[in-house]
Structure 1
Amino acid sequence: MTPARKKRLSLVGLLLAGVGVAAALMLSAFSENMLYFYPPSEVAAGEAPVDYPFRMGGMVADDSVAHGDGVEVRFEVTDGAVAIPVRYEGVLPDLFREGQGVVVRGRLDGNGAFTADEVLAKHDENYMPPEVADAMAAAKAAQSVEGGGG
């Protein structure tokens, strides 16, 4: 093998190694920043990860909002079948209220309570995030099947 060919081969090897490292770093960053969405029924069924960030959405349950000390707020998010308690410290969006659609981002603790880092309320009277609408429809369908079969 000639010295020029060895040099070219090592250059190609270094280039491939660099591309491999860059791809591995991109995939790692992507997987760390990915947030999954779960409706309250799946969270209650144990399908959501414990102590790992994810999004949960549904409706703010009626008569569930309780303001604590300072900016602490406790409320429940429901999909019509199950309600999950949520604890949040911070300023709530102006559109946040009982009976309205909401998506919360945070972590589930070992006791089944959700600690939110962010609360997003729907921005329009006719809008509901697609994930929340699908989850609510699925919960309603499951509830009607259970109610009709028993």
Structure 2
Amino acid sequence: MIGYLISKNVKNRDFSLGFPLIEAMTDRVLQEDQSTYILYQIANVLRATCRFTNEQVDEATAKSMIPIFKILLKNHHKMVIKRTLAAVDYLAQTNGTYSSLLLKNDMVEPVATCLQSKNPDVVTYALRILYSFSLIDDKIREKFHESWDHFFQF
């Protein structure tokens, strides 16, 4: 029910439900250890929404998604993490405004923890996002340059 409610509103670009309510519902699903499928649907809808960042997602909407991203990145299912990182990546790659918004809202650590994943797609998304952050913040560039050097040796 929760996944359906969220996907119906976001798929129709109807944000009247409000991201704080979606955040609360996502947190509840995670706390009650409910179906990973619901969390996957939430992450998938957010990813689809972020794909249209230039057209329909303004800065306030993007900012209200950040707490949901943090909640979803706490999940241990690789597909939930992968979809969440894809959404964050769409925002980070769009323009400097969204990258700095993500950076200001402490998204570095949740993304950086994904570097420990055994899934190469998750690691790739995490590195792309951190690279976007590094274009804005020199401290991040210094901290993660070894990871990029290792990654780009392939």
Fold match (TM-score > 0.5): no
**Larger helix share, 1 or 2:** 2
- Bigger Cα Rg: 1
TM superposition score normalised by structure 2: 0.22
Task: Output the TM-score relative to the length of structure 1.
Answer: 0.23
